[in-house]
Structure 1
Amino acid sequence: MNVGFNHNVMYRGEIFHVQTEDSGIANPHIITLLYRGGTIICSRKTSYADIIKMDNLDQVVQELMKEQHKDMLRRLKNGEFDDRAFPSRQPAPAAKPAAAPEQAPAVASTQVAPAPPAAAPSSPPPKPPAKPQEKPSSLDEVILDFLLADDKD
C-alpha cells in the first residue's frame, strides 16, 4: 500500500482539500476525493487490478496516484467544478422580457418629412478604458501552479 497525497488549496477565495489514497493489493483501487468545507465535490476511483502482477507495482501505483491527484487539481483550477462548488455564485437565469403592449396599426402618410440638417462634425469617439493590470498571483496560486507543473525527472 502506498502513502497517499493530501493538499489544501485556495481557489476563488475558498479552501479545497484534495486527497488521494491507495486501497492496497487486496482492493486495488486509487481513490481521489475533492472536498470543500467537508462536502465531497468530486470523486474518482481507478482500478489497477490489471497490473497487479508487475514487478515494480509500488512505483507504478505511486505514479498513477500522483497523476490522478494532479489531474483533480488541474480540473479544479480550470473551473470544472465551479457549478457544484459555488452554486450560489452562478448567475440567475435571465428573465423573459415582458410582451410589448399591442399598438394600433400605423396609418400611412402621404407627406414627406423634411431632411434633417447636416450634422456638425463630431469629436472622435472616446477611447476605451485602459485594461486593468492583472493582479499578482497569490501564494496559493503559485503553489498550485508549482504542484501542477510537469516533473522534469
Structure 2
Amino acid sequence: MKISTKGRYGLTIMMELAANFGEGPTSLKSIAEKHQLSEHYLEQLVAPLRNSGLVRSIRGAYGGYVLSKEADKITAGDIIRVLEGPISPVDFEEEDDPAKRDLWLRIRNSIADVLDSTTLAHLVNYQDEGKYENYMFYI
C-alpha cells in the first residue's frame, strides 16, 4: 500500500489544525502557503474530512477550519482511512495461498496498529531526538 498525496497532504492539514487548536480557525490558504501546496487541492481534501466529522468549518471573514475534537482523540489511521480508503496491501479475496494470505494480513494489521496508535497530538509534538541522523543513504 502506498499513501498518495491525498493521505499525505490530508495529514498535513490535520497537523496544522492540531497545532493551532484552541486559537480559532485556520484557513486553507495559510496552510497552502506555509507548505507550498495548492489551495484548490486542499479544498478537495478537506471536504471528506469535514463530512467524516474530523473537522468543522467556520464561515466568515476570519473563518477556516478547526478540529472537531482534541488532537489526542484523532489518529493518523482515522485520517488515512477517510482519504485513502481501507488499509490493505493486497486484495485478500484474490489470494488462494493461506501462507501468503496470513502474511498480507499481518502486514495490514501492523500498518493499522501504527496508524491507529499515532495521534495528531503525537505528530505535532514529535521530537526527532537524533534517531535518523546516523544513517547514510547511497543511491
TM-score under structure 1 length normalisation: 0.22
Higher strand share: 1
**Larger RCO: Structure 1 or Structure 2 (Cα < 8 Å, ≥ 6 residues apart)?**
2
